[in-house]
Amino acid sequence: MGIPPDLEKAATERGLKVVERGQGHFQITGGPLLVNYYPLAKRRSAYVAGTTGRRVGVTAKQAVEMAFLPPERRGLARKDERRGKYRGARRRLLLFSNKCHWCGKPLTLDTSTLDHKIPLALGGLDNANNWVLACEPCNHDRGSEMPELRRGMA
């Protein structure tokens, strides 16, 4: 089928790549966020990978811009519902990397915190695909924002 020309052009202008995944599904990669886009579907929907939010009626240019914009703010998940399950998750993540995802500082089980790459307040999912280890200062400074997106904006 091939990549729609307007999508290819919009992505190239922002330095991104488009990957065809079949059945009208395209992924926009190379930016701070991965965007899944369905331009041939009836609703022309798009969403940022790892989030619960979906936008409909999206143009190719809007889908490309989603790779640089924070997801829409959502209601916060209750912390008391999440507390307790993260110690085991941190222990498992430490097996793969013992450094802060954001600054590279060495971490231990006692000095690490579990951070969400896409914050829950922005519609990020509370699962292992969205978890990274971070030091306390990085996790606290980031809060429910995504400052790394500001660095990637042109």
54 and 90 in one domain?
no
Here the CATH number for the domain that contains residue 91 is 1.10.30.50
Residue 151 has pLDDT above 70, yes or no: no
Taking only the tens place, the pLDDT of each residue in 18-76 is: 999 999 999 999 988 899 999 999 999 999 988 878 899 999 999 999 999 877 765 55
Taking only the tens place, the pLDDT of each residue in 73-101 is: 655 545 555 555 688 888 889 888 999 99
For residues 41-51, one letter each, b for 16 or more C-beta atoms within 10 angstroms of the residue's C-beta and e for the rest, the string is eeebbbbbebb
CA–CA distances in Å: residue 34 to residues 49, 69, 77: 6, 11, 23
Among 25, 42, 65, residue at a domain's last position? 65
**Domain range for 110:** 79-146
Tell me what pLDDT residue 128 has: 86
Kindly report the pTM of this predicted structure.
0.66
Residue 154 has pLDDT above 80, yes or no: no
